[in-house]
Structure 1
Amino acid sequence: MTPERPASVVPTATYRLQLTPEFPFAAAAGAVPYLASLGVSHLHLSPVLEAVPGSTHGYDVVDHARVREELGGEEGLRALSRTARGHGLGLVVDIVPNHMAMSPRHNHALWEVLREGPASPYARWFDIDWEVRGGQLLVPVLGGPLGTQVEALRVDGDVLRYHDHAFPLRAGTEQLPLPELLEAQWYRPVWWRLARTELNYRRFFSISELIGVRVEDPEVFAATHAKTLQLLREGVVDGLRVDHPDGLADPDAYLARLHEATGGRWTVVEKILSAGEPLPPSWPVAGTTGYDALRQVDGLFTDPAGFDELLAGYRRFAAPQTDRGGEWAATVRRAAYKVLTSELAAETDRLARTAARLCAASPDLALRDRAPWALRTALEELLVRLGVYRPYESGDAASVVTREAAAEARLAFVVPEEAGAVDVVRDLVLGTACPGPEGAEFRARFAQTASALRAKSVEDTAFYRYVPLLSATEVGGDPGRPAVSPEEFHAHCARVQRDWPHTGTVVTTHDTKRSADVRAALAVLTECPQRWTDVLAEATHADTPVPDGQLAWAAWQTLFGLGEADEERVGQALLKHIREAGLYTSWTEQEPAYEEAAAAFVAAGPCGAPGRLVTALRDSLGSPIQANVLGAALVHLTMPGVPDVYQGTEGEFRALVDPDNRRPVRFPPVDPGDKRALTTAALRLRARRPDVFGAGSSYAPLTVTGPAAAHCLAFTRSGEAVTAVTRLSLRLAEAGGWRDTRLTLPPGRWTDTLAPEREFTTHARVEELFARLPVALLERVPE
């Protein structure tokens, strides 16, 4: 008899824990009493299935059928679930359907494919193109060309070993001489640099250590989701976070299958929405993981006029060359060209081959006689012009690959007749050419390549090349237009409440380049751009060599955001910064001289005596920074959606890009502080009054009148709770303060959740409302 499926539960708030061998299930269980006291309803766990030994993140899954032993195994997870439930908490887990670790000695399914080739029952698991590279899967692990690595290759029984790597040998090939033995395998170890242009398997972005999984195959879906579904069915786990659905061949079909298999459990997807892009309405999910909310929250505390001044100062100080980050849109376009022809060259080549094959075999003569180079050029020109991550089967591909984009793409061709390749490719993408199954592979690969391109060119390249305001260079953000007006914010919240009331919201995650508190500090620079440039002019000395202006600007802002001249942390973040930017050095083409000069500058400048000028400026701006920190936290916790609190962020949490943001945290924290008190008050209110914040609730802006009305943002949830925060507080102080500014409250009596003795009615003077803190969370007093 099949056990009765537990009912779907919508969290009131989740708390993200980064599980590692040093912080396993048992350690998480130890934190449960404290986390329950905060007021969250669920723990949000990073991936729990078996991963590469020692992995600090868990996204490199090697076995979907087992819970990770290093974390405590399945019994450890079940024990954590029991402990959590004993304190009224449930579990949400992160799942990784798109890829597995390219580690044969740990990944049994991959081991069998390498041993048996396309005949292996596991061959359908992985997205491998067996028709190229002589029918061998390229494995880019060698430290140099094969001829230079022969001495490190050795046969050990039926295993081929290369340093720490192990590969199975095809049966009967063990005794062959090494050259013949290598040719006889279903795989070929190659120099790691060949991954960029020769790879014949789909991967996660450009990370060759993660191989794509074909969950579009029902048997593969069943095998890779069985354990997760069992944990859901047996009530160990309540909900799911789906990692990177854009990498899948058909996210629409996958999410429909997942929804059916889970019985409609609360599920959010890591879908990065571009500005103005809606989540596909047909997706049977609660919503996104919340990066769209992050941009809205950050934008509220960014001064648009001040950003323009800051941008002008950036151009003067950093002198970005026109081909190296002068304008945001141009920066993104240049980065996209670079990524397509370097990191994603293999993916682009496979896509172009698919297009050429379709055209050559098509019964539609209009598709014939298209030169492969022309099709590839057309693909590249269309891909770099996409304004979103990818098209979907359920959506209108013509709104993604637009007529305007096609018209621009044709300009890349000298001969008009050859420019017709653009129309051919666009028709293939839209499905008007080769609409049947024969064109489905192309459409899926185009979408997958588009999403990888967007992530690599924007998140991992352009965000490090265009740096007037580092707080704006965050996933889902728009560094060219970082400010969000109150009207825009209210409109966003109204849409979310109407369409996706159970969506996730975040302000800090394991992937954010800077924590919310660091970004909140940086946003204050848009309120004092001249003071910032004046301090930099004073801090910059001729005897401190600067490798380049953009690096220096980013380094000084990194110090300002962190507020601490920790050379190791700042240095590591800046090293990642310059390698991701790829202007003077990169991960694969490192320039030691430049990197050494950058490290010397960090030590002598931001982390040397001049750095004290920047930290002194930060100290002098403590009040407006605190207003932003508390304001962002409260807005996040009370706006429509289900807030996810990243570990440690209930208190002050200053972190830079990973791995800095994944450092272990202490439970409970040593210093409670105002932020923790505010967070606890908001989470407990959500827990006590789920009707006020859930699907049946409402959201409405509140009216503020008076000379400083623009500096107070306020809204009510269901007429029972009121959020009010201060925005642009430095500008507010310069303009003379609140004076007679008033907030119109809904009828009734209202108490301050942090100080219940304080009551307000109808027209509250904002100066009194914010007498204790620059924010307020009010609850209606029952009649």
Structure 2
Amino acid sequence: MTAPGSNPHLPAPERRTPVTTYRLQLGESLTFADARALLPYLRQLGVTDLYLSPVLAASPGSTHGYDVVDHTHISAVMGGREGLEELAREAHAAGMGIVIDIVPNHMSVPTPAWHNPPLWSVLRDGTDSPYAAWFDAPAGDKLLMPVLGQRIGQVLADGELTVERLAVPTEPERGEQWVLRYYDQVFPLAPGTHDLPLPELLGRQHYRLAYWRVGDEELNYRRFFDIVTLAAVRVEDPEVFAGSHALILDLLQNGTIDALRVDHPDGLADPEGYLERLSRATAGAWIAAEKILAPDEFLPQSWRTAGTTGYDAAWRIDQMQVDPAGVRTLGALMRELTGNVPLDYARVSGDAKREIIAGSLASEVNRLVDLLHAFTSRDLYLSDHTFRDLRACVVELLVAADRYRAYVLPGRQADPEQAAVLRETAERARATLDTDQYPTLDLVVAILLGEQVGAGEPSDTPERAEIITRFQQVCGAVTAKGVEDTTFYRWTHLTSLTEVGGDPAGFALPADEAHAWAQRVQHDWPATMVTSTTHDTKRSEDVRARIDVLASYSSEWVELVHRLRDLTAGIRPADMDGVTENLLWQTLWGTWAPGSADPMTGERLGAYLIKAAREQKSWTTWTAPDTVREDQLAHYAAALLARADVAEELNEFAALTARAVRDTILANKAMTLTWLGVADVYQGSEVTRTSLVDPDNRRPVAYAGAAGLQTALERVSQAPTDAAMSLDDAKLRLTSQLCRLRADRPDTFVGSRSGYRALPTTTACAFAYARLLDEEADVVVVVRRLGRRLERLGGWGNHTIVLPQGKWTDVLTGAEVTGGTRLLGEVVGDEPVAVLARPRADA
């Protein structure tokens, strides 16, 4: 474990700390064997660690691996345990580590159910199952399985349920079993019930089959957000932790894997306790947590983790390239296209949360209010707080929450900072309640904080503990579904800002705020992760960069949209939704990449827009799709890509903004690779990609062949610096140069010896910092920002930067630079970024 007095957020000295990871999305199209073939390329690129998507056995046909069905087996599709071990051996021989993504919060409810052995056991044996404590549902209750296409009475009348004998592949030792079949769905039968009449047979099972629409209101197991096919597990139970982590821990202990990324810890009952247990069980391995932070939120200091997976850095990198001058012009266009849609971000977010609370997460909210009402009804002093008032207060607290959750542990006094989060949330909620409900709100907050209420019943009862925990878990789910999966598709002011963990209401980010944030994170979390594109980002880093540039060309953009609308008025759907249309134009531009090896297609663009519209939940939804209007939207999008007049207009705008787009893409990549901690390169993002939200961002990457990345890297590694180099080649070259720099100077970028210092410049168009080694500047980074503003001001002119004293070498150009006060034009010149390294004596 970490030595006494050292930073608790660093891995133990004997554990590997990644420096630069390369994220691979494994599956049928990218197996362990395929990953092995990439090792020479990744080593040449400068990568130090492979970062693998979940590798445990997942649902049949899974394209992502987060739908785990069996914690005791490595995915056979990927190559099984033998394939993983062989990949690890070759990676380690090449000096590279292995980071694995793990999923502690949930398991898949697959079709058929027997693919998940613990779930199959619970469905068959109920409380007698050895896995009875695994799933987060009321003890002894029948698990609701909302899988029927119509109500149960009609299903029975139509004879759609059958009883049959089946050899279950996951339990070969049992031979044939009696099962209940509903088309592709298969469920086990409780022993001795197979020969009962169907109605009686159904009543004797440990589960209840139901019409799929029943799930939102009556589902009784906790899910991952509102996904019925992902059932939460109670990893806070030591036996569940042991059973679900044994294989991963064995792989760590025997040296097959080196570090972990933890998916969605906010879904857990006790994230802090889980991370503490995981850190102990791994003997202090490097662990990154996928924690979504509010703009003014930092990770709790008590968490035993290296930091986040990097969304908090990603949106800040983007927003530093957004010109605040564009806010009103782009807002006016949003108002013009969307009509009566509210233009107050907080209102849009609040409305979306209320819809989620009343809709897909109604069962979770109902369960929480039922618990509160039962708790207060038992105490005479509290019994006059009605169900209606309790529900109103819970709803308003959930709507008012400005972060995923607070962290209050049942039976412990609430941390003052976390208590303040809840109290501030309550004050925002108070403004929406009747004055007669204020006492109920105060009571609910007191209960959630573990304070004594009423007749003085002990505050650490199981009932109180469940209320405290459930509220925090529901709060995270409502925030995720209401904000990131609804509001972020409705708020189209500048869509590059509606990224995971982002702050679209903030629009642009001043340099001073970015420096202050980075200095604090570096001090507390020197091995955190910084990323720019992931499997979860709604747009790739390059798509976001192109959209960022619109804030600098807002007037020209508005004129272009008006021309495009006029040109295509004859084919635009007559009832096209304005929010969707504004999203369409920005997406069309963000993915417009003339000459790119990754061009947008009509099929991909149409599929994305349909998904986005369903997430908006305004005129079409996942559960009630308006397929006619969706088809019209997809056809319109495909027609836009096919029309020569549209292409001509977009190409002219691309020519106008080419310098800004190029500079933004390269500057942002340089920051991702040098700003803080462990840098992550998502597969294929070493060149430009037009990727949109999943599954689009999980498309295969072309590594081999004449046009593949391996050939391209060999070409650009030999080529001299050339301003005429294609953007793809320039980005690949930059990525490789900086990855290699990181590999050569790991302690400068990651860990206890690394540091961060803002460097003063006389213009806001330069963002500069030094990465420190033992408190001394070792690498200096200067990036160009707000390039069009800089052009209008006549360039760098007499603006200066104060470099640390001494001799420096520009890593990207080879030029020699002397420290002190220097003209920015001499240091950066016409490039988007300068990276200076202090010469080493052993170089």
TM over 0.5: yes
Quote the sequence identity (%): 43
Of residues 559-568 and 328-337 in structure 1, the stretch that sits farther from structure 2 once superposed is 559-568
Counterpart of 1:426? 445
C-alpha distance in 2, partners of 1:399/1:566? 49
Q: Which residue of 2 aligns with 1:291?
A: 311
Aligned partner (choices 522, 545, 561) of residue 572 of structure 2: 545
1:772 Cα shift? Answer: 6.0
| Superposition map of 1:67-466 within 5 A | 67-103=74-110, 104-130=113-139, 135-150=141-156, 151-157=159-165, 158-322=178-342, 326-362=343-379, 365-393=380-408, 395-396=415-416, 397-402=418-423, 405-406=426-427, 408-409=429-430, 411-413=432-434, 416-432=435-451, 433=453, 435-438=459-462, 439-466=464-491
Q: What corresponds to 1:568 in structure 2?
A: 603
Cα deviation digits, residues 544-578 of structure 1 (max 9, x gap): 33402221111011010000552111111111110
One-letter code of the match for 1:250?
D
Distance 2:811 2:587 in 1: 35
Match of 1:713 in 2: 767
Q: State the SS of the aligned residue for 2:72.
A: strand
Match of 1:640 in 2: 676
Aligned mates of 2:824, 2:407 — CA distance in 1:
47
Measure the CA separation in 2 of the matches of 1:466 and 1:772.
Answer: 35
1:391-420 deviations in Å (ceiling 9; x for gaps): 11264443222256346437433xx44543
Residue 40 of structure 1 deviates from its aligned partner by 1.8
Q: CA deviation at 1:335?
A: 0.5
On the 8 A contact 2:606/2:635 being kept in 1, the answer is: no
Preserved contact between residue 805 and residue 818 of structure 2 (Cα < 8 Å): no
**Displacement after TM superposition at 1:147 (Å):** 3.3
Structure 1 residues 407 and 14: alpha-carbon distance in aligned structure 2, compared to 1, 3 A threshold:
closer
Structure 2 Cα separation of the partners of residues 112 and 242 of structure 1: 26
Q: Secondary structure at the match of 2:632?
A: helix
The residue aligned with 1:662 is 698
Cα distance per residue 1:289-334 (max 9 Å; x no partner): 1110011111110111222321122212332423xxx211111111
Give the whole-Å Cα distance in 2 for the aligned partners of 1:292 and 1:21. 31
Looking at structure 2, the residues matched to 359 and 16 of structure 1 have their Cα atoms a distance apart, in angstroms, of 49
Aligned to 1:488, which of 513, 517, 520? 513
Could you tell me how far apart the structure 2 residues matched to 1:611 and 1:643 are? 38
1:727 corresponds to 2:782 = no
Give secondary structure in 1 for the equivalent of 2:520.
helix
**SS in structure 1 opposite 2:754?**
coil
Contact 1:53–1:70 (CA<8 Å) still a contact in 2? no
Amino acid at match of 1:471: S
Give the secondary-structure state (helix, strand or coil) at the position aligned to 1:263: coil
* Kept in 2: contact 1:374–1:421 (CA 8 A): yes
Contact 1:754 1:777 in 2 (8 A): yes
Secondary structure of the 1:105 match is helix
**Paired letter, 2:358:** T
Alpha-carbon distance between aligned partners in 2 of 1:105 and 1:404, rounded to the nearest angstrom: 43
Flag structure 1 segments of 5+ consecutive residues without an equivalent. none
Shift of 1:608: 3.6
CA distance in 2, matches of 1:522, 1:31: 32
Distance in 2 of aligned mates of 1:525 and 1:211? 41
Distance verdict in 2 for CA 1:688–1:84, change over 3 Å:
same
Q: Which moved further from structure 2: 450-459 or 298-307? A: 298-307
2:91, 2:533 → 1: CA distance? 23
Give SS of 2:444's match.
Answer: helix
- TM-superposed CA distance for 1:153, in Å, is 1.7
CA distance in 2, matches of 1:585, 1:736: 49
Deviation track 1:149-191 (CA, whole Å, cap 9, x = no partner) reads 3433211120111122111001111111211111111112211
Using the alignment, how far apart are the partners of 2:633 and 2:70 within structure 1? 41
1:639 and 1:6 map into 2 onto residues whose CA distance is 23
Letter in 2 for 1:376: R
Give the letter for the 1:373 counterpart: R
- Measure, in 1, the Cα distance between the counterparts of 2:218 and 2:389: 20
Distance 2:429 2:199 in 1: 49
1:758 is displaced (CA, Å) by 4.6
Question: Structure 1 CA distance, aligned partners of 2:659 and 2:155?
Answer: 59
Q: How many residues align?
A: 766
**For residue 8 of structure 2, what is the aligned residue in structure 1?**
none
Residues 43 and 740 of structure 1, relative CA distance in 2, 3 Å threshold: same
Aligned to 1:622: 658
Q: Which runs of 5+ in 2 are unaligned?
A: 1-11, 166-177, 410-414, 593-598, 714-728
Contact 1:295 1:477 in 2 (8 A): yes
Going from structure 1 to structure 2, the CA distance change for 1:53 and 1:491 (only over 3 Å counts) comes to same
Secondary structure, aligned partner of 1:54: coil
Change (3 A) 1:54 1:417: same
> For 1:745, what is the secondary structure of its paired residue?
strand
- 1:51, 1:691 → 2: CA distance? 37
- CA-to-partner distance for each residue in 1:675-713, whole Å, 9 max, x for gaps? 1111111111111112222221221122223xxx22111
Counterpart of 2:325 in structure 1: which amino acid?
A
Taking structure 2 as the reference length, the TM-score comes to 0.88
2:596 is matched with none
Once the two structures are TM-superposed, the CA of residue 607 in structure 1 deviates from its matched residue by: 5.1
Instruction: Report if aligned partners of 1:544, 1:605 keep a CA contact under 8 Å in 2.
Output: no
Residue 524 of structure 1: aligned partner:
549
Q: 2:732 aligns with which of 676, 686, 699?
A: 676
Pick closer, same or farther for the CA change 1:404–1:441 going to 2, 3 Å.
Answer: closer
Cross-structure match for 2:618: 583
Superposed CA offset, 1:197-218 (max 9, x none): 1101000000000001000100
Distance 1:425 1:199 in 2: 24
Q: Does 1:42 align with 2:49?
A: yes
- Rate the CA distance shift 1:425–1:539 in 2: closer, same or farther, 3 A: same
Partner SS, residue 115 of structure 2: coil
Amino acid at match of 2:28: P
CA distance in 2: counterparts of 1:558 and 1:443, whole angstroms: 41
Judged with a 3 Å threshold, the aligned counterparts in structure 2 of structure 1 residues 701 and 590 are, in CA distance, closer, same or farther, namely: same
Distance verdict in 2 for CA 1:661–1:643, change over 3 Å? same
1:640 Cα deviation after fit: 1.6
Matched, 1:18 2:25: yes
Contact 2:143 2:221 in 1 (8 A): yes
The 1-side partners of 2:29 and 2:688 are apart by 23
Relative to structure 2, which stretch is displaced further, 137-146 or 108-117?
Answer: 137-146
Q: Once the 2 structures are TM-superposed, how far is the Cα of residue 618 of structure 1 from its aligned partner?
A: 2.3
- Whole-angstrom CA distance in 1 between matches of 2:377 and 2:270: 25
